[in-house]
Each structure stands twice: as C-alpha cells, then as structure tokens.
Amino acid sequence: MRKKIVAANWKMNLTKKEALYIYDKLEEIQLEENQEVIVFSPYVFLDALKQRQHHIKVGAQNFHPAAQGAYTGKVSINHLLDLEIECVLVGHSERRILFNESDEVIKLKIDVAVNNKLETIFCCGEPLEIREQGKHSSYVLQQMESNLFHLTPEQMKSIIIAYEPVWAIGTGKTATAQQAEEMHRFIRMSIEHRYGKATAENISILYGGSCNPGNAAELFACENIDGGLIGGASLNAEDFTKIIQAQ
Ligand code: 13P
C-alpha cells in the first residue's frame, strides 16, 4: 500500500520561533499508519527541529551534490546526514528557473540522495505556455526521462514524485482535480511503462501548486493523488493541519 504524504515546503520563510511553533503544533496530529508528514525547512532551523524528536519528518530543500570541499556557502548531503535529516527535495521549479539547475545537476543530485538512502521528492511540472500548447504530458515525461528514469527499480523505492505545474505555484490558481488526476495517472502509467506495475503502484505522487484547506480534500480524493507538497498554506499551522486532515 503506497504512503499518503503531506509535505510542507517552507521555502525561504519564517523565523526560528515561528518554525518551531508550527512544528510543535503538527506533533499533536494523530497520523494513520500509512500517513506521513514532512517539513522541508530552511537549513538554519533543521538542527533545532530535529532536536525536538517529533514523529513529523524533517527534510532539506536543497543540497550541493559534492560530498565536501571548497564550495563557500553550500551544504552537502553529509551535513544533512550528520543532522539525521531523512528527506530532500530535488528538481523544484524554483531551483530550475531561478537558480538555473540543469537536468544534469538534478540527475546528479537524485543519484547522491538515493545512494545515501534519503527519501527523495522529485519535483516535475510544466510552465504555462507548455500547458497552453497542450504539450504538458510530453514535457513532464521528458523531465522524468532525463532526471529519473536512469534509476534502478530498487533505487526507485526511495523516490516520491511531486507534480507541481509551474503556473499553479504561488499563484492561487490551482489545477482542477481533473487536470491534476489526469497528469498523476499519466505519470504513474509512464513509471509502469518503464519499471512495471509493482513499482508504479507503490510510488507516492503528490500534487503541489496553490493547494489549500479549501481544495485539498477534492484533490486528495483522486485515485492517483497520494497527497500534497504545500507552499504558502504550510506557513500557517492551522491551515496546514486542515490540509493534513483532508487526507
Ligand atoms: P504554493 O502552495 O505556495 O503554491 O507552493 C507550492 C510549492 O511550490 C511547493 O513546493
């Protein structure tokens, strides 16, 4: 049975006090056996969050693919492992667009994360002009083929996919449940085509992009939507709790 996951991507927001407040609030939520909540925090709060020893997982939004070295200002996977961080985000559209992360870099990061047995959320999703041209499926397939499909079936067990249409991120414009389900089904079918039914059935596929307490239940009720990757609405403990409880 695949896991139901709701993850917070706090991006470059919150103070330490606010981060700890939200994290402590989440600890009060009763989770079902196959349900998981992850908080992707700015680096500077990771240690403090881990010190709390809550059942809510803590993840990092990024890392540098090199193990160590003269990379001023960067954080390596070894730093994350040292803090016992369990999950990482790779391929977020903000990293691709704002920081020019190429397919090669994303592929390399996927390898580093998976080889270190971290739970790895691979983000994919099309920009608005691609959606308007009706080429969103082939665009996302291309992202998976160039970033992900070199992994072995065993390595794929560490992967969670987040479908995040770029036009829906931070815009208040959510994909409809039908649009999202259609893409999630396509992603699962593509995985089945490459890896077989068992791998495809076991992989969790999350939706991200203006997901909020008002639309989460409808999205999560779809057959191929196994949860969400939440930006803006995860900065408020009450809203994020409602989203978790919508599962
Ligand atoms: P919003 O929920 O703010 O649209 O952000 C989604 C996102 O980018 C999560 O990674």
The DSSP string of 43-97 is HHHHHHHHHT--SSEEEES--BSSSSSS-TT--BHHHHHHTT--EEEE--HHHHH
Which domains occur in the chain, in start order? 4-245 (3.20.20.70)
Q: Is 237 helix (H, G, I), strand (E, B) or coil?
A: helix
Q: What is the 73 CA–ligand 1 centroid distance (Å)?
A: 25
* Ligand 1 lined by 190 (C-beta under 6 Å): no
pLDDT score, position 73: 97
pLDDT exceeds 90 at position 174: no
CA dist., res. 43 & res. 31, Å (int): 26
**Type of residue at 38:** I
Nearest alpha carbon to residue 187 among 166, 165, 171: 165
pLDDT score, position 1: 80
Active site residue 164: yes
pLDDT score, position 126: 97
pLDDT exceeds 90 at position 202: yes
* Ligand 1 lined by 9 (C-beta under 6 Å): yes
* Ligand 1 lined by 229 (C-beta under 6 Å): yes
CA dist., res. 236 & res. 105, Å (int): 32
pLDDT digits (tens, 9 = 90+) for 106-121: 999 999 999 999 999 9
CA dist., res. 90 & res. 106, Å (int): 7
- Give the residues across from 88 on adjacent strands: 60, 120
Q: Structure pTM?
A: 0.97
